[in-house]
Chains A and B, each alone.
Chain A
């Protein structure tokens, strides 16, 4: 076990990616790779104690009773090669689609995959339009013919060949650059997109979370109020960082011709920014829905929700934040001790059915 301050991760990879488990004690715990490239899971504040338990991934089912859904998710993550937020999301959606977390989770996972597909098409089309625009060509004919039709595809190929010629590169090279760029921007989308993509929506929701939490904590006499204030502060820092990265990305895409011409240097910047954005916003989706669900409940439940959020809040790593959030969280923890939350029935060790059901409901809305 390591203390919160000793643990204090320096990079996003050290912090790990959040996993949407439905077992209450494991919900939103983080997975990362250890020095030997083996997966390990970080479980914070077990029995409200200080510090973080680091458990090898393989031993997790032996250490904690898990729901069947979580056992499947555990297997899928173990089989997949990476543990980035995108890798984890893929495994989470695959596990949810099986039906082991209930019909709501199935629907949410299928809707999320459908949305991904829609965004993939949209970003591809928008990038083609940008490429044509930067070569001074019109794209309205493609739309008129229909992007999916044979005529539309032929027209696209012809126009893109012209654009490649004007930009001084091979058509195949232009196509491959656009495909690569679409891959980076799939979850972010363009600022001009008619339907904001997942991470843009998430950033907007995080803004709302910060406002709602700030309003709740201001003038509140509850013991959880300072913790709520801290959560709002972490959200604020995250939003600010995410906004900077997003602006940087939007600027790169706005000068599309330069991006294509200086591809070798610019693509690295775009890739780095896109990866950073997905790490920055990782783990917030569940917390935002958890809070929006709690605001309609009793004050006691709101206090409990704030403690639950604090337990797994995605603190910015040392390299990212100017202020040391981990140190601030540790101080807050010391001055706000409270009774232990029972995640299992203390007499039988069985999982709390109501708590699992609540996590599944939130999961159904946050996929």
Chain B
């Protein structure tokens, strides 16, 4: 197949069958680093991530290996790294590194791409050399300026990212070991062996490059499903620094974590969409409260009140989000779907939406107390349950086989999603068997 034909396919590649997709990825890889190919790969990358397509090892991939966990994520459920590096920046940076090291010298490192005893040593030597190139580049960057070598305008984020990459490359060997400790990604719960591994490697970093310790911790956090969970473990972790340095590092990390929680809570506030998926909002709220609680517990352990006000504000915005996007008119939405069904309209999308509303309300029960919304949630749930019970009695009162029984069963299902199976089963027994089991 010609390169032009392949590129012309564009996002159609997202929908072709899996074996063909894998073949095409292989073809694209063999075609080299042409900008059009890079663009096509960028389009199909989410599917490559989903299918875990095994990529051919290249020097560019080896270069990215230490900091790949900080790349921007695709799926909305993937944990966002605490410090993000753009892929576009890396794509501009690699040709510069490649040119500075020189192709003949790079060839000598090719052994790092193959299995064997030589691999680790060659990879480490390559990272050291790449680190010095990126560090030299980082020392000449200035925000706001257009960088000719990178062919990019440098904003403060990009300047920070280049400095981060230089720092990460200088501790690449420790990062490789860290990835082995925190595997497979994302780690959902931190166990003692994880914490011991982070501590031992952190000590190595603190001895060799104390200034790289923060980015090392951020990289560790980016391998967790809830990055803020690391804060709780960090409080007791001794990297061998002075107490003042340790406190400073902890404060910096907390600042980053709280900043991210603030961003996430703001992102939903910025798009007040009336049709927002209430279940997704509930999931996010539960997730944010977990991060918030983890951060607050870590703060309490360290008796630190510096972030109290910011955490209070975040809690306030989650409260508002849950109230306006989940609780508001939830009972109307759920009962409305049933009424439409009773009128002969069997709108699957509407029923599914109502089910999600009911699930969202139930999910909020676990965070309602901590948000001070227990009363409001109870009122909404009771209102919906009363209407649904009436509906179920009306539809199923004449027996399970009478017309409209689907509406009656759907009403019982909604009660189950809202209040749990015990209450729904009780109601069903009551209607169909007169309370007998």
Q: Report which A residues bind B (CB closer than 8 A).
A: 61, 65-69, 71-72, 98-103, 106-107, 222, 296, 298-300, 350-351, 353, 357
B416 beta carbon closer than 8 Å to chain A: yes
Q: Which residues of A contact B428 (CB under 8 A)?
A: 68, 71-72
Q: Report which B residues bind A (CB closer than 8 A).
A: 50-51, 184-186, 188, 348, 351-352, 355, 359, 362-363, 405-406, 409-410, 412-413, 416-417, 420-422, 424-425, 428, 437
Known contacts A67-B416, A296-B50, A300-B188; A98/B362 CB under 8 A: no
- Asked if residues B409 and A103 are in contact (CB atoms below 8 Å), the reply is no
Known: A299-B185, A353-B417; 14 extra A-B contacts, CB below 8 A, are: A61-B437, A65-B421, A68-B413, A69-B413, A98-B406, A99-B406, A99-B410, A100-B412, A100-B413, A102-B352, A103-B351, A296-B50, A351-B420, A353-B359
Q: Which residues of A contact B405 (CB under 8 A)?
A: 98
- Asked if residues B359 and A298 are in contact (CB atoms below 8 Å), the reply is no
Residue of A66, A106, A300 near B184 (CB, 8 A) is A300
- Asked if residues A68 and B424 are in contact (CB atoms below 8 Å), the reply is yes
Q: Looking across the interface, which residue of chain A has its beta carbon closest to that of B366?
A: A345
B180 → A minimal CB distance (Å): 11
A340 → B minimal CB distance (Å): 13
A299 to B188, CA, bound (A): 12
Q: 3 closest A-B pairs (Cβ-Cβ)?
A: A299-B184, A98-B409, A99-B409
- Asked if residues B421 and A102 are in contact (CB atoms below 8 Å), the reply is no
- Asked if residues A71 and B425 are in contact (CB atoms below 8 Å), the reply is yes
Q: Which residues of B contact A98 (CB under 8 A)?
A: 405-406, 409
Q: Which residues of A contact B410 (CB under 8 A)?
A: 99
Q: Which residues of A contact B413 (CB under 8 A)?
A: 68-69, 99-102
Known contacts A98-B405, A100-B412, A353-B363; A107/B348 CB under 8 A: yes
A-B contact pairs, 25 of them (CB 8 A): A61-B437, A65-B421, A67-B421, A68-B416, A68-B425, A71-B421, A71-B425, A72-B428, A98-B405, A98-B406, A99-B409, A99-B410, A100-B412, A100-B413, A103-B348, A103-B351, A103-B352, A107-B348, A298-B184, A299-B184, A300-B188, A351-B421, A353-B359, A353-B362, A357-B359
- Asked if residues B409 and A102 are in contact (CB atoms below 8 Å), the reply is no
Q: Which residues of B contact A68 (CB under 8 A)?
A: 412-413, 416, 421, 424-425, 428
A205 to B405, CA, bound (A): 35
Q: Looking across the interface, which residue of chain A has its beta carbon closest to that of B189?
A: A339
- Asked if residues B409 and A100 are in contact (CB atoms below 8 Å), the reply is yes
- Asked if residues B348 and A66 are in contact (CB atoms below 8 Å), the reply is no
A351 to B423, CA, bound (A): 13
Q: Which residues of A contact B51 (CB under 8 A)?
A: 296
A296 to B46, CA, bound (A): 11
Q: Which residues of B contact A300 (CB under 8 A)?
A: 184, 186, 188
Q: Which residues of B contact A357 (CB under 8 A)?
A: 359
Q: Which residues of B contact A222 (CB under 8 A)?
A: 184
A336 → B minimal CB distance (Å): 16
A296 to B18, CA, bound (A): 11
Determine which residue in B409, B416, B422 has the highest number of CB atoms from chain A within 10 A of its CB, and name it. B409
- Asked if residues B351 and A66 are in contact (CB atoms below 8 Å), the reply is no
A101 to B437, CA, bound (A): 21
Q: Which residues of B contact A72 (CB under 8 A)?
A: 428
Q: Which residues of B contact A69 (CB under 8 A)?
A: 413
- Asked if residues B421 and A66 are in contact (CB atoms below 8 Å), the reply is yes
Q: Which residues of B contact A106 (CB under 8 A)?
A: 406
A80 to B409, CA, bound (A): 21
A66 to B352, CA, bound (A): 22
Q: Looking across the interface, which residue of chain B has its beta carbon closest to that of A107?
A: B348
- Asked if residues A298 and B186 are in contact (CB atoms below 8 Å), the reply is yes
A65 to B426, CA, bound (A): 12
B15 → A minimal CB distance (Å): 14
Q: Which residues of A contact B362 (CB under 8 A)?
A: 353
Known contacts A100-B409, A100-B413; A65/B188 CB under 8 A: no
A107 to B351, CA, bound (A): 13
- Asked if residues A102 and B355 are in contact (CB atoms below 8 Å), the reply is yes
Q: Looking across the interface, which residue of chain A has its beta carbon closest to that of B427?
A: A68
Q: Which residues of A contact B352 (CB under 8 A)?
A: 102-103
A91 → B minimal CB distance (Å): 14
A81 to B51, CA, bound (A): 45
A272 to B276, CA, bound (A): 55
B171 → A minimal CB distance (Å): 25
B3 → A minimal CB distance (Å): 29
A154 to B413, CA, bound (A): 49
Q: Which residues of A contact B359 (CB under 8 A)?
A: 353, 357
Q: Which residues of B contact A65 (CB under 8 A)?
A: 421-422
A65 to B420, CA, bound (A): 10
A275 to B405, CA, bound (A): 34
Determine which residue in A61, A68, A102, A296 has the highest number of CB atoms from chain B within 10 A of its CB, and name it. A68
B408 → A minimal CB distance (Å): 9
Q: Which residues of B contact A296 (CB under 8 A)?
A: 50-51
Q: Which residues of A contact B186 (CB under 8 A)?
A: 298, 300
Q: Looking across the interface, which residue of chain B has its beta carbon closest to that of A71?
A: B425
A188 to B35, CA, bound (A): 53
Q: Which residues of A contact B355 (CB under 8 A)?
A: 102
A227 → B minimal CB distance (Å): 16
Q: Which residues of A contact B416 (CB under 8 A)?
A: 67-68
A97 → B minimal CB distance (Å): 8
B207 → A minimal CB distance (Å): 30
A114 → B minimal CB distance (Å): 16
Q: Which residues of B contact A103 (CB under 8 A)?
A: 348, 351-352
